[in-house]
Amino acid sequence: MKKILFAAAEGVPFMKTGGLADVVGSLPKYLDREYFDVRVILPRYPCMRQEMREKLRHVTEFYMDFNWKDIYVGLLEANMDGIQYYFIDNEEYFSGPKPYGENALHEIEKYAYFSKAALSALPLLGYRPDIVHCHDWQTGLIPVYLKERFHEGDFFRRMKSVITIHNLKFQGKWDTKTIESITGLPSYYFTPDKLEAYQDANLLKGGIVYADAVTTVSATYAEEIKTPFYGEGLDGLLRARSNSLRGIVNGIDYEEFNPETDPYIVAPYNALNFRKEKVKNKRALQEELDLRRDEKKMMIGLVSRLTDQKGLDLINYMMDELCQDDIQFVVLGTGEERYENAFRHFDWKYGDKVSANIYYSDTLSHKIYAACDAFLMPSLFEPCGLSQLIALRYGTVPIVRGTGGLKDTVEPYNEYESAGTGFSFTNYNAHEMLRVIRYAEHIYYDRKREWNKIVDRAMAADFSWQASAARYQEMYDWLAG
């Protein structure tokens, strides 16, 4: 049996701020337990929900040499859905109202500590993984430490590492001297072929250089990040590592996202009865959000972080024009102030057409996926994206820009062959986006039978974790030999 340890900054159900947590929490459940013993190690954040904190049991504690001092490491554990979780505890690093803080240097020190503590804890836990699967820059030092000080002991000698890039934009960068001092790594690790990039130390780069394999969360994104536009300064390194780089598209938990059993929605439905039942969710949402009650009106949803990456400048630019159409637009999310305020403004200006919900609510997100006819995602770049996968599952037709995971998961509608699961545009251009939204409106209003066929195909698409898990298993087998 192969032993795999997932190391990450967050994972459901214990802590979630984004799609990374869904992957870390869901994927282990779908790996074949006959062949793989998968466990997860996370920081213990005191801001975790009370009911989750109560599930944690103390295992042991020890002191570790870090940043020129002996520092406390607490170890806790919990078991959820048959998966064993471990937690690294240190109040100096992990306290605060949110998992991530504003102070970039503190964040780097905190996750350098986590990376070293996670490896140091393994002998005490009596668990020797064949592969440590690291996620994003926060765990980028684990492959480095494995090849450096931990390499000498028998316990760690043949241990392999994988790093998964969930979003290349976030890299964990700070000046070299400071990082050298914090991590205790020798100065020869901070050269352009190792951790140094453009005069700074870069934790994600360290992970990419030293990991035995590199993955990212869609095949298209794996190709895109080898180019200067998407490569965030690391495209040269990713081209150099292209033999070890693979893209495996994320899945979603088909139990959690199931319109037939979803506890948050008014009218459950499935692929057979959506023509009659899905619209009841639209009526209920119009009522709840005080939009004009009209079940025939095309409703477009957006559940997103409100940031540049998500293409919100395109929406902002076109919103006045879009609101001249016979549509309703429902937004849920938080992010950059200018986008929050822009959506509040459009809500005020077009009260019966636009509903801006500038907060996050799991319950409301499920209602939006179930109620809307279409789901808009015009991202500038999108490593994988989970929202379009959820939208497909709920028969809410995605309108996307063909980039990264959006290109891999949404098949553009082709009216001549009656094929496709959504609508797509190619160039990052506001008018092109508006044109494809209006094309979708035309199909929705004038060719309803065709629209329903798109919904049929969308709901039949399979983006459960099953298929992705098989690809990860292949990689683990190849790595562990």
Specify the CATH number for the domain of residue 366: 3.40.50.2000
Measured distance between the N- and C-terminal CA atoms of the chain, rounded to whole angstroms = 12
* Residues 294/355, Cβ–Cβ less than 8 Å: no
Residues 38, 147 within the same domain? yes
- Whether residue 188 is contained in a domain is answered as yes
* Residues 262/269, Cβ–Cβ less than 8 Å: no
* Residues 24/40, Cβ–Cβ less than 8 Å: yes
- Whether residue 258 is contained in a domain is answered as no
- Strand 245-247, strand 298-303: pairing: unpaired
- Whether residue 267 is contained in a domain is answered as no
Residues 61, 84 within the same domain? yes
- Whether residue 265 is contained in a domain is answered as no
Residues 168, 129 within the same domain? yes
Q: Count CB-CB contacts under 10 A for residue 292.
A: 10
Range of the domain at 321: 274-462
Q: Which tokens hold the place of 340? A: 């929050």
Residues 409, 471 within the same domain? no
pLDDT at 19: 82
Residues 203, 131 within the same domain? yes
- Whether residue 260 is contained in a domain is answered as no
Q: Count CB-CB contacts under 10 A for residue 420.
A: 18
Residues 72, 124 within the same domain? yes
Counting every residue, how long is the chain?
Answer: 481
Residues 68, 108 within the same domain? yes
Phi first, then psi, for residue 404 (nearest 5°) are 50, -135
Query: Residues near 51 by Cβ (< 8 Å), separated by ≥ 6?
Result: none
- Whether residue 176 is contained in a domain is answered as yes
Q: Where are the alpha helices (DSSP H) in 356-429?
A: 362-371, 387-393, 404-409
pLDDT at 366: 97
Query: Residues near 192 by Cβ (< 8 Å), separated by ≥ 6?
Result: none
Residues 28, 88 within the same domain? yes
- Whether residue 259 is contained in a domain is answered as no
Residues 346, 404 within the same domain? yes
Bridge partners of 277, per DSSP, are: none
- Segment holding 171, helix H or strand E: none
Print pLDDT tens along the chain (481 aa): 999 999 999 999 999 988 899 899 999 999 999 999 999 999 999 999 999 999 999 999 999 999 999 999 999 999 999 999 999 999 999 998 999 999 999 999 999 999 999 999 999 999 999 999 999 999 999 999 999 988 777 899 999 999 999 999 999 999 999 999 999 999 999 999 999 999 999 999 999 999 999 999 999 999 999 999 999 999 999 999 999 999 999 999 898 899 999 999 999 999 999 999 999 999 999 999 999 999 999 999 999 999 999 999 999 999 999 999 999 999 999 999 999 999 999 999 998 999 999 998 999 999 999 999 999 999 999 999 999 999 999 999 999 999 999 999 999 999 999 999 999 999 999 999 999 999 999 999 999 999 999 999 999 999 999 889 999 999 999 998 7
- Whether residue 443 is contained in a domain is answered as yes
Residues 83, 120 within the same domain? yes
Residues 49, 198 within the same domain? yes
Q: Distance from CA of residue 373 to its chain's centroid?
A: 24
Count up the domains in the chain and report the number.
Answer: 2
**Burial (0-12, 13-18, 19+ Cβ within 10 Å), 247:** buried
Query: Can you give the pTM of this predicted structure?
Result: 0.92
pLDDT at 150: 85
Residues 216, 243 within the same domain? yes
